[in-house]
Amino acid sequence: MVDETDLMYLRRCVELATLALEVGDEPFGSLLVGADGTVLFEDHNHVASGDQTRHPEFEIARWAAEHLSPADRALATVYTSGEHCPMCAAAHAWVGLGRIVYAGSSEQLTAWREEMGLPPGPVRPLPIQQVAPGIAVDGPAPELAGELRTLHRRLNGLA
């Protein structure tokens, strides 16, 4: 269940997604939050560089593996504007990160892409729990769906 504290962090993820779009990238943003509520790391998509693995959730996994103990990783929460893709869900599980909270689901993004007449992406969207069944996951946050949809429409020149 997404609560008010979660929404605060998810709103920051949407701000990062907006920043990504403003600098010419796809609108996705994520935070890594420690057990005490401290934001440890934040990032947005960097796939416009040509490296399609530069998702913020993947960058969080890399950073956490280098900078946090296994115990601290397990107690941390990843907040993200969009549900992890299979690559990011696997990275999250491999480094032993804790809970995931997302604003928009893969199912929503797939529907928005269809609505815009876009082809499916190169990787099948799967729910996080199909890739990493041991992870606690909460989302989506209906309060943020309209804003996320607008960002994806802007990405594709439709808003």
DSSP string, 29-54: EEEEE-TTS-EEEEEE--GGGS-TT-
| Amino acid identity, position 80 | T
Spatial neighbors of 123 by CB under 8 A, at least 6 apart, are 85, 86, 87
Q: Could you say which architecture CATH assigns to the domain 4-155?
A: 3-Layer(aba) Sandwich (3.40)
Query: Where exactly are the structural domains of the chain?
Result: 4-155
Higher pLDDT, 159 or 34: 34
Residue 17's pLDDT band (cuts 50, 70, 90):
very high
- The model's pLDDT over 58-111, given as tens digits with 9 standing for 90+, comes to 999 999 999 999 999 999 999 999 999 999 999 999 999 999 999 999 999 999
Report which residue type is found at 50: G
pTM, rounded to two decimals: 0.96
